[in-house]
């Protein structure tokens, strides 16, 4: 026998504890009256419910039963110990039986959410900042990683149509760092505008997220990143694209990066850096 669906999720304290407020009392009464179809036993559980309303110290697992309930138990020939044993057996059977219904494996409801998120197609695209991240392991489901070491914005303009040909639900892009390192920064904003336009032509349903350019150990690149990130943000705002500013996550101060998040080269992130990045954007990825 299975419990009514809404009652499966009620904690034991909710079912067993004293009178409570009117709502809990009502649900408790419904629980006891619906649990069994046998009239005599259903009557017994109804008596338990009434006792809980009349006796503020009532606790069925401690056998604090009023004489009226004891008389009801005697009338159907059931002992207190047998009552508790029968009740627990029914409770376990109701919560664990069957494969149907809406109960998730974890019992918290999170599994159904995770399953829905995992069914989405999500792509991370850009340069090595994306390519070296193990995104699937950070989020716990499959992420398509299309990051390429050394990639500049003009190259992503040329390849973006093929990347989104599968019409992903979301795409997260990080690009522009190599433009700055190679002193090709003047085309960054125009190229990003072209990337956005091409995505919308090929896959208009894809939600686009652009990251800020990350800092690194070179002061000149950080100065340029700080000049271009606001321009990228303004473009994203104009185009209705979500801009994710992660630049400050990896800085100790205005001029130095936090080396705890970087590999020895001072350019590429280590696993701790990627974990920080992933934790920051996780609400956007799993929403």
Look at residue 56 in the predicted model and tell me its pLDDT.
41
Total-model pTM: 0.61
- Predicted confidence at residue 71, as pLDDT, reads 52
Pick 64 or 122 by higher pLDDT.
Answer: 122
**Side-chain half-sphere of 279: how many Cα atoms within 13 Å?**
7
Rounded to an integer, the average pLDDT of 205-234 is 97
pLDDT (0 to 100) of residue 97 = 41
% of the chain beyond a pLDDT of 90: 56
CA nearest to 130, candidates 117, 147, 118: 147
Q: What's the pLDDT at 16?
A: 42
Q: Put residue 24 in one of left, alpha, beta given phi > 0 → left and psi -120 to 50 → alpha.
A: alpha
Task: Identify the CA nearest to 52 among candidates 83, 10, 77, 22.
Answer: 22
* Helix H or strand E encompassing 139: helix 135-139
Tell me the pairing of strands 144-147 and 170-174: unpaired
pLDDT reported for residue 117: 77
Nearest Cα to Cα of residue 134 among 121, 144, 148: 144
Average pLDDT, integer, range 225-242: 98
Residue 259 has pLDDT above 60, yes or no: yes
Q: Of the segments 39-48, 66-75, 195-204, 245-254, which one has the largest average pLDDT value?
A: 195-204
Average pLDDT, the chain: 76
**Which carries the bigger pLDDT value, residue 125 or residue 117?**
125
Task: Please tell me which residue, 36 or 269, carries the higher pLDDT value.
Answer: 269
**Domains of the chain, earliest start first:** 5-103 (no CATH), 111-286 (3.40.50.1110)
Whether 283 shows a pLDDT value over 70: the answer reads: yes
pLDDT number for residue 228? 98
Of residues 217 and 6, which shows the higher confidence score? 217
Nearest to 2 by CA among 103, 106, 104, 108: 103
Q: For residue 89, name the pLDDT band (cuts at 50, 70, 90).
A: low
272/10: higher pLDDT: 272
Report d(CA 78, CA 62) in Å as an integer: 16
Q: Tell me what pLDDT residue 116 has.
A: 77
Write out pLDDT tens, residues 165-183.
999 999 999 999 999 999 9
What would the mean pLDDT of 185-192 be, rounded to a whole number? 98
Q: Which residues lie across from 207 on neighbouring strands?
A: 170
């Amino acid at each position: 026998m299975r419990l009514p669906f809404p009652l499966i999720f009620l904690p034991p304290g909710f079912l067993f504890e004293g009178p409570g407020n009117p709502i809990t009392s009502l649900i408790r009464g419904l629980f006891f009256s619906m649990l069994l179809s046998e009239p005599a036993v259903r009557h017994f559980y109804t008596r338990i419910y009434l006792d809980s309303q009349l006796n503020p110290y009532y606790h069925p697992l401690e056998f604090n039963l009023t004489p009226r309930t004891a008389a009801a138990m005697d009338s159907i020939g059931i002992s207190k110990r047998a009552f508790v044993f029968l009740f627990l057996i029914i409770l376990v059977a109701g919560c664990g039986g069957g494969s149907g219904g809406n109960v998730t494996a974890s019992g918290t409801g999170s599994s159904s959410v995770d399953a829905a998120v995992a069914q989405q197609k999500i792509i991370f695209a850009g340069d090595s900042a994306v390519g070296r991240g193990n995104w699937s392991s950070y989020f716990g489901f499959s992420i398509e990683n299309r990051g390429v070491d050394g990639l500049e914005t003009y190259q992503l303009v040329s390849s973006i149509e093929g990347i989104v040909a599968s019409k992903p639900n979301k795409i997260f892009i990080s690009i522009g760092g190599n433009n700055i390192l190679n002193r090709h920064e003047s085309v960054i904003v125009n190229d990003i505008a072209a990337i956005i336009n091409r995505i919308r032509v090929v896959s208009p349903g894809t939600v686009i997220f652009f990251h800020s350019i990350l800092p690194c150990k070179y002061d000149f690149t950080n100065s340029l990143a700080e000049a271009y990130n606001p321009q990228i943000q303004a473009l994203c705002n104009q185009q209705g694209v979500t801009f994710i500013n992660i630049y400050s996550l990896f800085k100790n101060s205005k001029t130095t990066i936090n080396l705890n998040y970087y590999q020895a080269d001072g350019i590429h992130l280590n696993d701790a850096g990627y974990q920080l990045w992933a934790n920051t954007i996780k609400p956007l990825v799993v929403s």
